[in-house]
């Protein structure tokens, strides 16, 4: 049985291959190969039954040399920081190739949103922003919906 693919290791292999083809300066390559910033945090949420459940969350800001980071926030039970790192990296590349003045970001929470009530989802979204608000905004990092999140959830985050 084959092992699971690590998305970030795949992204780094892709980068190394292209950097070699381009004969990219090794010092520049070392800067671009890794995310500039990563946030790992816990989000305590009061559930409808009165209990408190703690969720693990991430935000990766890969590179903002071309402008503010942009990228979605994913809510998925199999979310990993390596998947978030890879998606932020790929977003940096997509923005550069499309000549957009943006960098790559991505966020995630390990959760199956289908198991939460509407009010629990709202508290989780607001909790995410309570942790990240100092590192988000139109000149820093612009989140968007992604897997497992909706425009309503982005509305709660914006309101927070």
Q: Could you confirm whether 94 is annotated as catalytic?
A: no
For strands 69-76 and 52-63, give the pairing.
unpaired
Rounded to whole angstroms, how far apart are CA atoms 96 and 146?
20
Place of tokens 């300066």: 25
Rounded to whole angstroms, how far apart are CA atoms 73 and 79?
11
Nearest by Cα to 122 from 60, 53, 46: 46
* Helix H or strand E segment including 106: strand 103-110
Catalytic one among 70, 94, 106, 121?
106
Place of tokens 């990296």: 89
Q: What angle do CA 87, 92, 94 make, to 5 degrees?
A: 90
Q: Active-site positions?
A: 106
């Amino acid at each position: 049985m084959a092992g699971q693919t690590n998305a970030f290791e795949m992204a780094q292999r892709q980068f190394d291959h292209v950097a070699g083809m381009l004969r990219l300066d090794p010092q520049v390559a070392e800067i671009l190969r890794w995310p500039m910033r990563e946030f790992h945090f816990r989000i305590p949420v009061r559930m409808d039954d009165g209990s408190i459940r703690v969720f693990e969350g991430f935000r990766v800001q890969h590179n903002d040399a071309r402008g503010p980071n942009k990228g979605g926030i994913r809510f998925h039970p199999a979310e990993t920081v390596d998947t978030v790192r890879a998606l932020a990296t790929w977003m940096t590349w997509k923005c550069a190739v499309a000549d957009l003045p943006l960098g790559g970001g991505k966020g995630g929470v390990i959760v199956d949103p289908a198991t939460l009530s509407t009010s629990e989802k709202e508290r989780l979204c607001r909790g995410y922003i309570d942790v990240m608000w100092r590192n988000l905004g139109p000149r820093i990092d612009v989140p968007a919906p992604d897997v497992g999140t909706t425009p309503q959830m982005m509305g709660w985050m914006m309101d927070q």
